[in-house]
Amino acid sequence: MANDSRKSAQSRQRILDAAAKAFRRKGYVATRLAEIAAIAGLRAGSIYYHFGSKEEILEAVLDIGIRRIVDAVSAALAGLPEEATHRRRLTTAMTAHMTALLRHGDYSSANVRNFGQIPAPVRRRHLKVRRDYEELWRQLLRQAQAAGEISPSADLKLLRLHLLGTLNWSIEWYRPAGASVEAIAQTFADFIFDGAAMAGEPAP
Amino acid sequence: MANDSRKSAQSRQRILDAAAKAFRRKGYVATRLAEIAAIAGLRAGSIYYHFGSKEEILEAVLDIGIRRIVDAVSAALAGLPEEATHRRRLTTAMTAHMTALLRHGDYSSANVRNFGQIPAPVRRRHLKVRRDYEELWRQLLRQAQAAGEISPSADLKLLRLHLLGTLNWSIEWYRPAGASVEAIAQTFADFIFDGAAMAGEPAP
DNA sequence: GTCTATAGGCTGATAGAC
DNA sequence: GTCTATCAGCCTATAGAC
């Protein structure tokens, strides 16, 4: 009994892992159930013992994906000393987000990549979790601005979209061969804070 | 005769417009030929008078998409006075890119959005045009750095990915209701050049 | 040029044996 | 729990009438 439920949980897990990997690479619609089954080491029909439909698998993958990002960012922030600057907090959060996406990331990448093309009902249900994550960034930015580490004139909504856009777009171009994820995230964080203009250059 | 070839060209155009619109919204794989035909005002079978396959339509849409972006950016840059600063050049290019994407942009959006999930042969053929466009940005950034308007220590490759990532990601969140495309692009350009940190704040 | 009709193939999902 | 077998539906693409 404990044996059966353990076996079931393992198969379910393998199916989810396989789906996340496939969704990340080819997208939800283009991925076939037979493909997921093959990666998971079983036949297409067997999937239906664990899931009611392909959409149900998608929902599970999306949920795990966003949760992994939230957990990674939260854990990284929790590991910082109380007195850490807001700049350090934001840099840490950016690195954690990017790492979750690129290195430990079939689920997280599948989430970010497929979000724009998932069926409407699934999207609606998933939106709540997404908003919670956005709220985390809103708070980080608000606190940094309140503490005077971000310019008071900065539009925090656009800054958040600017920042997350840069990070999320990396799934389109990142290849493990190049610079490390940490180095890239650090460079991006410096761009975000200091800008790329020559120091002392006047604004136009 | 001139009448027929004009009618043919018009239908072909309507099919492409319809495909670009659908590809932008739902992605290539999820879009059905019957759907494209319906938007274009004809039946699925009729499409094959104008195109040999669904993939052929995709290729045409992708090509037009990238060309529209290149043309928009090139035209905007050509409209600048000789003595324009490099900051102004880059800001202008960013605005043109974003406008092409968000406002005049079924083709351009379809291109950016579907690039990650197009069939391998199509992708390979399309890569060349993409690289040409990237080269345009490489030159802009190189010249700006050479002129001393971008910090000599800035990694131009990461700066380009940073900049284009921010712009391209906007197709995931932009809604016409909010701020104008020009205002958003201007804000992003200022972020890119000046950063969001409190002026005079020391780096950590 | 566009239509209707349909071929041919594949896909998500179900049923029943083991 | 997983398999095999199979169904029903849908989709791209083709053929031939108009």
Q: Protein contacts on strand C: list nucleotides below 7 Å from a Cβ.
A: 1-6, 10-16
Helices and strands counted in chain A (H then E) = 8, 0
**Which sign, positive or negative, has the C-alpha torsion A134, A139, A142, A147?**
negative
A203 vs B117, B150, B194: nearest CB: B194
- Contact check, Cβ <8 Å, B172/A29: no
Nearest to A26 among B30, B117, B161 (CB): B117
Which residues from chain A sit within 8 angstroms of residue B150, using beta carbons?
A: 196-198
- Long-range contacts of the stretch A150-153 (C-beta < 8 A, 24+): A150/A86, A150/B196, A150/B197, A150/B198, A151/B196, A151/B197, A151/B198, A151/B199, A152/B198
The predicted pLDDT at position A201 comes to 46
CA of B50 to C1' of D14 (A): 14
Q: pLDDT by residue (tens digit) across A128-180?
A: 999 999 999 999 999 999 999 999 999 999 999 999 999 999 999 999 999 99
Contact call for B197 and A149, based on CB within 8 A:
yes
- Scored b (16 or more CB within 10 A) or e, A94-114 reads bbbbbbbbbeebbbbbbbbbb
Average pLDDT, chain B: 95
Question: What is the full per-residue pLDDT of chain A (204 aa) written as tens digits?
Answer: 566 788 899 999 999 999 999 999 999 999 999 999 999 999 999 999 999 999 999 999 999 999 999 999 999 999 999 999 999 999 999 999 999 999 989 999 999 999 988 999 999 999 999 999 999 999 999 999 999 999 999 999 999 999 999 999 999 999 999 999 999 999 999 999 999 999 764 555
Cβ contact A149:A189 at 8 Å: no
